[in-house]
Each structure stands twice: as C-alpha cells, then as structure tokens.
Amino acid sequence: MKQITGLKQKTVLYLLIAVLIGGIVGIGTFTFGYAKGASYLKADSQSCANCHVMQGHFDAWVKSSHGKFASCNDCHAPHDSAVSAYYCKARNGFFHSLAFTTGDFEENLRITDYNRSVTEQACRKCHTDLVHQIDILAIGELNKNASERVESNACIRCHSTVGHDT
C-alpha cells in the first residue's frame, strides 16, 4: 500500500514539474516569439507600437516635437538606474500584456499613478531649468511642502497630451 502511495506522489510531482516547465516554455515562447518581447529590451520607440493599441500614440509622437528629440523611454522609463528602468519596462509589459490579451482595458488608455510619477520625473529631468524657475515661483505662492508643490506644479497636469498631441 505504501508503494502505491509513494508512486502516486511521484507521479503527481512529475506532473506538476511538467506543467510548470510547460507553462514557462509556453509563456516564454509567446512573450519572445509572438509578442516580440526581445524588442522591449532595447530603446527603439518602434517597439512600443508592436501592440496595435499604441499605433495612434506612436504616430502622434512621430509628428510631435518630442518625436524629434526624445524616445518613448526618455519620457516613460525612469532615468535613475538601469534596474529601475527595466523594472518599469517589465512591470508595464506584464500589465499591458495582461490587459491587451484579456481585453480588460479602457478604450481611452489612462496613465497609472506609477507611470504618471515616472513621466513627471522625466519632464523635470529634461526641462530642469524651466521647471526649477516655475517651482521657485510656486514656493512663495503655494506655501506647501515639497511633495504637494510637485503635485500642484506637475508638468503633465497642464500638458497631459504632450508628446502625443494629434
């Protein structure tokens, strides 16, 4: 009786390992084959248009002033380290894939708080001199702490479509 129970446990264990390996190979094949996952490891803005939902945003970016000087990553990936940039890409890639595969997303794409923060920091990095002058003016007028000033002076608060104006 113990030999039968031990045999069933081994069978279940082998089946679980086979399912796990099959899942990893299947997801990997889908991600790097069909979904062109390797293209997201580079900084080529064309890869952002791999998904047809982004084609309009890509076309608008090409026509915009940002299209002449900045890549998608310049505005939508952190600049502080490669680790945080790839974390952002992996995080967004996972959630974008999930949303586009399941069809569970709003027709007008909406930026998350995380991505809003990344984009805001990118604006502030590239336009440091201009933003610094605006922040200095706002300090006296708003009399708030630094985080409230950044939120009330957020670049994308007034320029929410910058880079994607049509």
Half-sphere exposure of 146 (CA within 13 A, CB side): 1
**Residue 38 scores a pLDDT above 90:** no
Q: What is the pLDDT of residue 33?
A: 87
pLDDT bracket for residue 118 (50, 70, 90): very high
Give 62's DSSP letter.
H
Q: What is the pLDDT of residue 72?
A: 92
**Residue 143 scores a pLDDT above 70:** no
Mean pLDDT over the full length of the chain = 85
Q: What is the pLDDT of residue 100?
A: 83
Q: Cβ–Cβ contacts within 10 Å for residue 153, how many?
A: 19
Structure token digits, residue 103: 């069809």
In the chain, the percentage of residues whose pLDDT exceeds 90 is 38
| Mean pLDDT, range 14-24, rounded to an integer | 96
Nearest residue to 117 (alpha-carbon basis) of 91, 144, 94, 98: 91
Q: What is the pLDDT of residue 77?
A: 94
Q: Distance between CA atoms of 121 and 103, rounded to whole angstroms?
A: 30
| Mean pLDDT, range 46-53, rounded to an integer | 83
Q: Could you report the per-residue pLDDT of 57-86, keeping only the tens digit for each? A: 899 999 998 989 999 999 999 999 999 999
pLDDT bracket for residue 142 (50, 70, 90): low
**Residue 30 scores a pLDDT above 90:** no
Q: What is the pLDDT of residue 141?
A: 56
